[in-house]
Copies of this chain bind each other. A is one copy, B any other.
Amino acid sequence: MFEYTITATDPNSAARTGIFATPHGDLLTPVFAPVGTQATVKTLTPRDLAEAGATLVLANTYHLYLRPGTGLVRDFGGLHSFMGWPGPLLTDSGGFQVFSLAQMRKVDADGVTFRSHIDGGLHRFTPESAIASQEDLGADIIMCLDECPDPLDRRYNEEALARTHAWAARCQAAQRQPDQALFGIVQGGVFPDLRVESARTLRDMDFPGYAVGGLSVGETKEQMYAMLDVTVPELPAHKPRYLMGVGAPEDIVEGVARGIDIFDCVLPTRVARNGGLLTRQGRLNLRNATYTADPLPGEPGCDCYCCQHFSRAYLRHLFKAEETLALHLATTHNVRFMIRLMDEIRAHIRTGTFMAFRETFLQAYRIPNQAVRHAQRAAHKKQMGAGK
């Protein structure tokens, strides 16, 4: 189980295509996983996801542990059955949300105690409990409990890294279910030596796959790319590599170029709910008055249900009128946009044209200002506190 077969490698970059075999189906990599935080990719049904071409869905253990409870999900036969998604699933350990969402947290060598962002109730995660929760959920790919420090704080990263490595060993020891691939998570902030140390330590523990965590959390894109440049070469070539919480289309293209196989991000679904459509030219804001009478589809040429049936004018009307359908239709497009991007990336890797595609893509795609992006992200996090 969990065989990873490399099917093509790009001669001009670290990009590769592969097939990762999971109990709920084969994943063609590079793959993008839409985020189903609370056992639903917001506004989409499982059949909408399948129609969009999604193959892998991520769910958040922290949220599901708090509500409805991982035990209840287990009693329903696991997350696949509970949420009606028959394909591969990935769960995180809950660590990231404890460090970003919980009202209070106190880390010790054994685990982390925190207060729920929902009701303030006191809870505790340990490596063993994080594995137990994820075994209840039953995802195909599961994660070690890790600590996610401020990426710029050297001293904190050093301390946290020791705990993250010790917890990885305990997670590995605690795992009981052979049908779940437990990935180790490389941490180390923006510090190359820590990243290398982390990658080597985890590599020696022989996980069936490796995640790169603690990126896209406040550092610059250049810092993120630099960390991939030093980390990926330290990871075994024949294991899948997962860049957690990334990303933006441009970051995916750059991540693939650096050898990443798996991505997940709330970006396409969150941007959609804010009235933004992803296009190859960048984001299109449907709330803009420019689109009041625009008969074009969201992204001309797109084959999604939204673009095949509705005008920008209609979508804008739905957003202005605060109609729920707006969120659904924009999400339908944005998820399909990401899946088509991954399809195209894989095709270019197979034909050896990935680096030319990368250049063309980055020339056309207008990247939102980083400062604006970070401010929006921080405001959103403060407001929602719920992975929304």
Instruction: Determine whether A305 belongs to the interface, using a CB cutoff of 8 Å to chain B.
Output: yes
With A84-B309, A292-B72, A311-B76: A45-B328 Cβ-Cβ less than 8 Å: yes
Instruction: Determine whether A14 belongs to the interface, using a CB cutoff of 8 Å to chain B.
Output: no
Most interface-central of A309, A313, A317, A318 (chain B CB within 10 A): A317
Oligomeric state, in copies: 2
Kindly supply a per-residue 1/0 record for chain A positions 10-35, scoring 1 wherever the CB is within 8 Å of any chain B CB and 0 otherwise: 00000000000000000000000000
Instruction: Determine whether A233 belongs to the interface, using a CB cutoff of 8 Å to chain B.
Output: no
Closest beta carbon of chain B to A107's beta carbon, Å: 27
CB pair B292–A40 under 8 Å, yes or no, is no
With A72-B293, A329-B45: A38-B323 Cβ-Cβ less than 8 Å: yes
Instruction: Determine whether A385 belongs to the interface, using a CB cutoff of 8 Å to chain B.
Output: no
CB pair A318–B40 under 8 Å, yes or no, is yes
Residue of B nearest to A44 (CB): B325
With A314-B83, A320-B67: A325-B43 Cβ-Cβ less than 8 Å: yes
Most interface-central of A39, A63, A313, A325 (chain B CB within 10 A): A325
Bound form: Cα–Cα A230–B320 in Å: 43
Which B residues are in CB contact (< 8 Å) with A324?
A: 42-43, 324, 327-328
CB pair A321–B42 under 8 Å, yes or no, is no
Interface residues of A, CB < 8 Å — how many? Answer: 38
Residue of B nearest to A308 (CB): B84
Kindly supply a per-residue 1/0 record for chain A positions 246-262, scoring 1 wherever the CB is within 8 Å of any chain B CB and 0 otherwise: 00000000000000000
Closest beta carbon of chain B to A385's beta carbon, Å: 12
Which B residues are in CB contact (< 8 Å) with A43?
A: 324-325, 328
Instruction: Determine whether A68 belongs to the interface, using a CB cutoff of 8 Å to chain B.
Output: yes
Residue of B nearest to A67 (CB): B321
Bound form: Cα–Cα A39–B80 in Å: 35
Instruction: Determine whether A156 belongs to the interface, using a CB cutoff of 8 Å to chain B.
Output: no
Which B residues are in CB contact (< 8 Å) with A293?
A: 72, 75
Interface residues of A, Cβ cutoff 8 Å to B: 38-40, 42-47, 63, 67-68, 72, 75-76, 82-84, 292-293, 295, 305, 309-311, 313-314, 316-318, 320-321, 323-325, 327-329
Interchain residue pairs with CB less than 8 A apart (10): A39-B314, A40-B323, A42-B324, A63-B321, A67-B320, A75-B293, A83-B314, A84-B310, A324-B328, A328-B328
